[in-house]
Amino acid sequence: MLQVRDMMTTNIDYCTPLDNVYEAAVKMKDLHVDVIPIVQNNKLVGVVTDRDLVVRCMAEKHPGSTKITDVMSDHLVTVTPQDRVDKAAQLMSQYEIYHLPVVENGQIVGMVSLVDLSSQE
């Protein structure tokens, strides 16, 4: 059975808690991604999705200068590079999410998406 390491994306850019939602949105646009990890002191502390920006920021009429920590998800669901792909798929289904950070010793080392999993079937 394939492991997450076999299909994860490893070139991951991120924001820090010092960034605001505007900076995160610009980075997501420039990178053509719909999720961006939030990293502090080399540790994954949250993620922000394009949906978070819409629902928790724009729909709540928060300005672009809102701190990223005010809209990020900090209840993280993650996998390790050694986890099996079926575990990642099960977690995505259970938590209704499309992206999973891949974490090793608290540090983000990759990202795996539902698209990655579906391309392996």
- pLDDT band of residue 66 (cuts 50, 70, 90) is confident
Domain count for the chain, please give it.
1
Q: What is the dihedral of CA 40, 45, 48, 49, to 10 degrees?
A: 130
pLDDT, residue 120, reads 64
**CATH number of the domain encompassing residue 11:** 3.10.580.10
Q: Within 10 Å of residue 1's Cβ, how many Cβ atoms?
A: 7
* Per-residue pLDDT at 29 exceeds 60: yes
Which range of residues forms the domain containing residue 54? Answer: 4-118
Average pLDDT over residues 62-84: 89
The predicted structure's pLDDT at residue 57: 75
For residue 53, name the pLDDT band (cuts at 50, 70, 90): confident
